[in-house]
Amino acid sequence: MSKSAPDTERELNDFYQEADQRHLIPLWKVTAQLLPAEPQTKVLPYLWKWSDLRRMANRAGDLVPIERGGERRVLGLINPGLGGKYAATHTLWAAVQIVKPGEIAPCHRHTAAAIRFIIEGDRSYTNVNGDKCMMSRGDLVLTPNWSWHDHGCESDQPMIWMDGLDLPLVGDLDAVFFEPYPTHAHPVAQINDSERKFSGPHLKPTWEKPEGRYPPLLNYKWEPTYQALKKIGEGAASPFDDVCFQYLNPHTGGPVLPTIGCYIQMIRPGIHTQAHRQVNSAVYHVFEGRGYSVINGTRFDWERGDFFVVPPWAWHEHANEGKEEAILFSIQDTPVMEALGLYREQPYQEHDGQQKVIGTFES
Ligand code: 1HN
């Protein structure tokens, strides 16, 4: 005799209850949630104003000393979509850090890799494993994962920079290790050593052999970077990003760090790019100029010093309607996507490739 419908339903309910008690999930109940047709990110597009960041950084400078334990005077950007996770995107940490004249932020190392992009000041340094990298505005400095690093300011003005780390990703992988150096500062073995050896134009010393994943060049100086941007002049560039360079590891020709790609980009006067979307997430810092980006239909106006986030698989395009060039520095998790075979991008097809603006960002 066949069972009645209510009997079957009761048995099925019992089954689901037992599955739940036994910490099992029937996939057929959650397929749509686990396998959306395309990424459903919690990361929101967002923008932080430089006027706020700079004021808060300086205020922290007045109020908070740098000591062992606290280690760094850093204000992290928190993406409002991530439910309180300390992260700018699901994979990337971004922040502003201030070091005042005479201070040394104590030496430590961690398995999260980091970059600094210098916004304000000079005659400051990051000592990376004994190579004292002197830093000024526009320089990109790397601290590869598990490298010792302390920062110092030898100027009479405070130094402010952008920090970018893969900490949210490394945290999700439960791979965070941290160790303080036995003394406050690491001994200095050389000054600007990696730069001296590896910043020749398309030249690398033949006697220097790659050491594992350790990037040979730690400081990408601003002047040659800017020269490269300027050389493009009136020529054609990317329809989506205008003039955009990725910083490279001179040994591998690949990204500067396995988890963080770094980019410098010039949106020339009068350019309004086409929109596209990419599976990676990005944090942008406006190094020079002003303009706006349209992200998923919302217009984000930006000016010098601002930071903004482009989430995974979000349509985005950039515009510069002024007379001066606009320069954007960005960190992106693209190398992770590429290494895992997950990288995708797609051009926007409708409305001649540019989005309809349906709103303007307000914080
Ligand atoms: C860190 O070690 C630094 O070394 C900056 O300057 C920002 C954010 C999270 C965790 C460690 C630094 C950081 C950080």
Q: What is the full per-residue pLDDT of the chain (363 aa) written as tens digits?
A: 567 887 899 999 999 999 999 999 999 999 999 999 999 999 999 999 999 999 999 999 999 999 988 899 999 999 999 999 999 999 999 999 999 999 999 999 999 999 999 999 999 999 999 999 999 999 999 999 999 999 999 999 999 999 999 999 999 999 999 999 999 999 999 999 999 999 988 899 999 999 888 999 999 999 999 999 999 877 889 999 999 999 999 999 999 999 999 999 999 999 999 999 999 999 999 999 999 999 999 999 999 999 999 999 999 999 999 999 999 999 999 999 999 999 999 999 999 999 999 999 998
Mutate to test the pocket of ligand 1, among 68, 72, 86 (most ligand atoms within 8 A of CB): 72
Residue 91 lies in a domain: yes
Is residue 193 one of the residues assigned to a domain? yes
Residues lining ligand 1, CB < 6 A?
72, 74, 93, 95, 97, 110, 114, 149, 151, 163, 165, 167
Q: Does a structural domain hold residue 20?
A: no
Domain that holds residue 100: 46-202+213-360
Which of 73, 97, 160, 165 for a ligand 1 pocket mutation test, highest count of atoms within 8 Å of Cβ? 165
Which ligand 1 atom is at minimum distance from the Cα of 74? 7
Q: Is residue 2 part of a domain?
A: no
Cα of 346 vs centre of ligand 1, distance in Å, is 34
159 part of a folded domain: yes
Cα distance between residue 350 and residue 358, in whole Å? 15
Which helix (H) or strand (E) element contains residue 34?
helix 31-34
Nearest CA to ligand 1 atom 14: 72
In a domain, 356, yes or no: yes
**Residue 277: other Cβ atoms inside 10 A:** 22
Q: Which atom of ligand 1 is nearest to the CA of 76?
A: 8
For position 268, which CATH number holds?
A: 2.60.120.10
Instruction: Report the distance separating Cα 18 and Cα 12, nearest Å.
Output: 10
H or E, element range at 60: helix 50-63
Spatial CA neighbour of 89 closest among 18, 149, 168 = 168
Q: State the pLDDT at residue 258.
A: 97
pTM of the model: 0.96
Q: Please give the distance, rounded to the nearest whole angstrom, from the Cα atom of residue 4 to the centre of ligand 1.
A: 63
User: What is the whole-number distance in angstroms between the Cα of residue 273 and the centre of ligand 1?
Assistant: 34
**Is 112 among the domain residues?**
yes
Q: Which residue has a Cα nearest atom 12 of ligand 1?
A: 72
* 242 dihedral zone (left: phi>0; alpha: psi -120 to 50; beta): left
Count: domains in the chain? 1
145 within domain boundaries: yes
